[in-house]
Amino acid sequence: MDRTPTSTARPVGSVVATVAVAIGTALLIWWRLGPVTRGTVWAEDGGVFLRDRIALGPVDSLLHPYAGYLHLVPRLLVDVAWAAPVADYARVMSTGACVVVGVVAAAVFVLARDFVPAWPLRLLLALVPALLPLTPYEIGGNAANLHWFLLLAAPWCFAYRSRTWWGSAAVAVLTAFVVLTELQTVVFLPLLLVAWLPLRDAAGAPTWPRALPVTVVALAGGTAQVVAAVTDARISQPGSPAFADVVAGWVLQPFAGAWDRDVGAAVRLVVAHGWAAVLVPLVAVALVVVGALVVGSWRSRWMVVALAAGSGGVWWAALLANGGAAQDWSHPVAALAAVPPQRYAAASGLLLTAAVVVAASVLVGWRGSAGPAGARGRTGGAVRVVGVAAGWCLVTLVVAAAVGNAGPGPTRRSDGPVWAAQLPAAVAACDGDRSRVVDVRTAPWSAQVPCSRLLSG
């Protein structure tokens, strides 16, 4: 039988599905932002990134460190937006940031195949950046926070076992953008060991994956980030939060924010009814995840542990590095409910939700001793049924949280100021003098825009 049409259709279908994931994710985040947020420039996008682009040019600014980090992808996006008409700068930045997250989602959809073989669950995993309740509030639709989404891509890039050199080269290129954008990707470097372990061909014989390109790029990029971290001055003052506040804060912000964008609701719940109101759901989720670690393959264990530990690590590192982010989380009072979602909570929530989806995939696919190669479960019957049901409960929980928080909501840019609406006044302030620089307000700062650019566009 001639199998050429089928073998050709499968790659084409995979490409179409991957492109659909990228487009769907980008559109979903774009929609959730709302028109005012999309039209407002955020923080570094109109601050240091734009200033460096104007002062240093499109090339020298790319790997220019800022606050101890390299920010390759955000600076590339600023280059693209600054090449567009100046009135479109905010919209191009927002749209470009959504597109980048769409690319991340498509990459996760492809690279997670060995860990989450069922495509519906892998689709849910890929859509986590767009579905997370906290995404639109601060980290969605701007370049300044793209590094959080690229951090989510890091473990999948590092652990992917490529079958071909072309595939490895493609993942290595993606890895370069990921690592040169986010310093904390270095914590996932141990997952490179997974990429080096042998595969099995159709006859069951071991074959070595093509892991060298990704490994070299990841280590080189990580080294560059570490060098930048130790040689470039940070603006934020370090903090010294108590461990109890770190843990309690993680429960009240990243964990609570993974299911409801109103993180103040968790504080109000604890104040009214005690910690049991949030700890009981946390323990229930944790027990199901631990169950996945028991029955899953060793590779799935590595990934679940890496994502879950990364969630806590990102949150803890943020509180240590930014003294102003700490709160007395372990002793919540009513006033603490007014503290808005922090961007570190959203980043931590991305990793936490991804860990939950991977754990759910392990349980849903649990076949006991008769399961696929690599499955460790030896128990069948009622225990397996309970495990599978628990996995589907996790999936339902993630989907319900996404549906319950769908649609545009309040963001840190909900009140503007809209960039394009200010340009007529900015042009008038130039008074025909191309040598001047005028301020155009952003959230929460302002951008210094050369009149030469305003008057020419």
Q: How, if at all, do strands 199-200 and 206-207 pair?
A: antiparallel
> What is the per-residue pLDDT across 85-105, written as a single tens digit (0 to 9) for each?
999 999 999 999 999 999 999
For residue 370, pLDDT over 60 is answered with no
In degrees, to the nearest 5, what angle opens at C-alpha 304 toward C-alphas 33 and 105? 35
pLDDT of residue 388: 93
- Give residue 369's pLDDT band: very low, low, confident or very high (50, 70, 90): very low
Long-range contacts (CB closer than 8 Å, 24 or more residues apart) made by 379-384: 379/295
For residue 380, pLDDT over 80 is answered with no
Identify the residue with better confidence: 198 or 112.
112
> What is the per-residue pLDDT across 144-188, written as a single tens digit (0 to 9) for each?
999 999 999 999 999 999 988 999 999 999 999 999 999 999 999
Query: What is the average per-residue pLDDT within 212-231?
Result: 96
Q: What is the pTM of this model?
A: 0.92
- Give residue 2's pLDDT band: very low, low, confident or very high (50, 70, 90): very low
Q: Tell me the domain boundaries of the chain.
A: 13-404, 425-456
> What is the per-residue pLDDT across 315-356, written as a single tens digit (0 to 9) for each?
999 999 887 677 899 999 999 999 999 999 999 999 999 999
Tokens of 300: 């799935």
Q: Tell me what the pLDDT averaged over the chain comes to.
A: 91
Task: Tell me if 208 sits within 8 A of 218, measured CB to CB.
Answer: no
CA Rg, the chain, in Å?
23
Per-state percent for the chain, helix, strand, coil, to nearest 5: 70, 5, 30
- Give residue 112's pLDDT band: very low, low, confident or very high (50, 70, 90): very high
pLDDT of residue 28: 97
> What is the per-residue pLDDT across 270-309, written as a single tens digit (0 to 9) for each?
999 999 999 999 999 999 999 999 999 989 999 999 999 9
State yes or no: cis peptide before 417, omega within 30 of 0: yes
- Which residue carries 């370049």 as its tokens? 143
Question: pLDDT over 90 for what percent of the chain?
Answer: 82
For residue 202, pLDDT over 70 is answered with no
Q: Which distant-in-sequence residues (6+ apart) come within 8 Å of 357 by Cβ?
A: 116, 121, 124, 125, 128, 394, 395, 398
> What is the per-residue pLDDT across 16-39, written as a single tens digit (0 to 9) for each?
999 999 999 999 999 999 999 999
Q: Which string of DSSP letters, residue by residue, matches 156-213?
A: HHHH---SSHHHHHHHHHHHHHHHTT-GGGGGGGGGHHHHHS-EE-TTS-EE----HH
Task: Tell me if 200 sits within 8 A of 194, measured CB to CB.
Answer: no
Tokens of 412: 């840190």
In degrees, to the nearest 5, what angle opens at C-alpha 89 toward C-alphas 345 and 135? 20
Q: Which residues pair with 66 in a beta bridge?
A: 69
Query: What is the average per-residue pLDDT within 442-456?
Result: 94
pLDDT of residue 353: 98
Nearest to residue 143, comparing CAs of 69, 43, 62? 43
For residue 365, pLDDT over 60 is answered with yes
Query: What is the average per-residue pLDDT within 210-232?
Result: 95
pLDDT of residue 13: 74
For residue 1, pLDDT over 50 is answered with no
CA distances 253 to 185, 346, 397, Å, are 22, 8, 17
Query: What is the average per-residue pLDDT within 232-255?
Result: 89
